[in-house]
Chains A and B, each alone.
Chain A
Amino acid sequence: MTYSPIDRAATKTPQGVARRIRGLSDRTIAWIFVSPTIFLLLAVNIFPLIWTIRLSFTDYRVNRPNNEVSWVGLQNYQRILSDPDIWNTMQATAHFLIWTIILQVLIGFTLAYLINMKFKGNDLWTTIIVFPMMLSPAVVGNFWTFLYQPQIGLFNYVVAFFTGADPASFSMIGDVNLAPWAIVIVDTWMWTPFVMLICLAGLRSIPDSIYEAAECDRASKWRQFWTITVPMALPFLMLAVLFRGIENFKMFDLVVQLTGGGPGNTTTLTSIDLKREAFERWRTGYSSAYAVILFVTVFGLASIYVKALNKVKQR
């Protein structure tokens, strides 16, 4: 083992003296500063995670603490992956994920592009547009059920006003075909500003000189858009998609308040399904395995995506 001269001096000097001379060493301070955070995260995040993994191999049930807990090996995992209901849930999640991302990217990017034209008062309107995403999804989602009421709901009234349909003839959250779109609409309303803000940062990062050079080369506006604007804003756009993807994969509060997973199972996203298994049917071991599968999926998707993102950035 080799020590630097400072380390050697430090070990030779009695502790009290060292402290009087130099105060605490940087390394000690670093550990004092970092360890409470790491400790809390270990206690509230990692310890529970390990516990979940352990429970996932058992048939433990929280509501029957006196039952003998036995190891069931991979049985929980087998049952989940062969359960057709889980695949329905995955499909509902995929529908929600894909459509919210498509709509939010399209609308968000368009808005950012328009705001970047720097018309008068664009700051004020940007702040107003951002409001929905800062608010409590549960509280706002709950109120949207009021807007979606057949007959008296504002949403139905507006749709009926423009299409001439009867506002009592359709129910956004009560209809099997409409409910998956009802949650897409509210999520898009809420989170489009998020994509917009990130895209705006991307557009603002493109130096004017590139456009001036393109203008000298007589590139059309259309061509400039596709060869300069889009490629240069792409890393930002992908970052926005990454964030939205992870967030919506975890989606719980907004949708549970809007539809509660219904009608039937049409809007039962994975988190809602997991909540039913864990806190209504109390199948703790089974739902732990479910949770582990979700972790692996999120981490897997996120890491593949981050790799792709880095590739795009390098270009």
Chain B
Amino acid sequence: MSFSVTEPRRGTKWLAGILVVGYAIITMVPLLWIIATGFKSPTDSIAYPPVVVFDPTLEGYVNLFTDRTRATPQMLEEAGPPETWYDAIAQERGTVITGPSRYGERFLNSVIIGFGSTALCMILGTAAAYAFSRFRVPLKDDLLFFILSTRMMPPIAVAIPIFLMFRNLGLSDTHLGMILLYTAVNLSLSVWLLKGFIDEIPVEYEEAALIDGYTRFQAFYKVVLPQAATGIASTAIFCLIFAWNEYAFAVLLTSGNAQTAPPFIPTIIGTSGKDWPAVAAGATIFLIPVMVFTILLRKHLLRGITFGAVRK
């Protein structure tokens, strides 16, 4: 058995492990509670004391995706037996489904705007990062600092003129407007991160390619891009998560047409008071993809959250 003076004693390690695991479990409780509440009936969700063991139901999810109206027993009788399982759940509560809710649309908006801005941001960001990494760009350091400083501005402060500008250009409440806006906000992150990743690829590869008769463009997309693939992928996930989670611009600049899920989820209400299972169901569907991405990203997490300032 190897012995090292810097290695903590076994007992100490155990204690450290227990403390960290304890913290991790406590920190997960609110998230697990969101997921659990999504499967509770309205009565279970507001029970006192809070219930941990309950009959799971999909009522929250049905309420999330549908609009319903209160029905008199007479109306229910006229409607006849429920045709589908979700009709059955609604009728059990004395309601009739009148149509789909807006959640689907809002979620789709989040997907369109998230992926659209990420794609655009990666195209612009990779090109700029490559140029900053490989060429002598005049005022390079100033430009890089300028790009970073755009991130320091409070979104609400920037939102005032953007609100006016979008109104004049007819971009308010459009997908294109939000895609352009999120691209601009994310560019600082993507340029800084990608520059770091490209800096790590030895220049010799490209030089060899140039000597072999490749043009700069060919060297860029045949040599550099494949080498930087992991970096580009993780940067893209960071941009996607940011656009996915963004709230301030979305709530101020969108309303009916291009509204994303974050401003929408808190506004979900039931037929009588706040429908917490439906809110929790909406949150669950919205948060799970990010958790999956976090697991995929775990090796590059630190780099992403510090704009590449801390690499390992």
B-binding residues in A (CB < 8 A): 23-24, 26-27, 29-34, 36-38, 40-41, 43-45, 47-49, 51-52, 55, 62, 107, 111, 114-115, 117-123, 125-140, 142-144, 146-147, 151-152, 154, 157, 167, 189, 192-194, 197-198, 200-201, 204-205, 208, 211-212, 215, 236, 239, 243, 246, 249-250, 252-253, 257, 270-271, 274-275, 278-279, 284, 287-288, 290-292, 294-295, 298-299, 302
Contact = CB atoms under 8 A, between A and B. Distances in A.
B16 A115 contact: yes
B286 A139 contact: yes
Interface stretch (B59-67, B94-102, B289-297): B289-297
A111 B23 contact: yes
28 contacts: A23-B216, A29-B131, A30-B137, A32-B127, A34-B132, A34-B143, A36-B128, A37-B147, A44-B181, A62-B164, A114-B16, A114-B17, A117-B17, A119-B20, A125-B20, A134-B290, A136-B244, A138-B247, A138-B263, A142-B283, A151-B48, A198-B305, A198-B306, A215-B6, A249-B154, A279-B159, A294-B154, A295-B153
Nearest to B305: A194
Given A47-B165, A211-B6, A298 B152 contact: yes
A205 B146 CA distance: 29
A292 B157 CA distance: 8
B81 interface: no
A120 B16 CA distance: 10
B187 A128 contact: no
B157 A41 contact: no
A52 B154 contact: no
Contacts of A146: 37, 276, 279-280
B294 A134 contact: yes
Interface in B138-173: 143, 146-147, 149-150, 152-165
B79 interface: no
B38 to A, nearest CB: 10
A130 B280 CA distance: 21
Contacts of A24: 215-217
Given A212-B6, A239-B309, A131 B294 contact: yes
Contacts of B245: 135-139
Contacts of A27: 135
A203 to B, nearest CB: 12
A200 B215 CA distance: 43
Given A37-B127, A197-B305, A252-B247, A121 B17 contact: yes
B154 A252 contact: yes
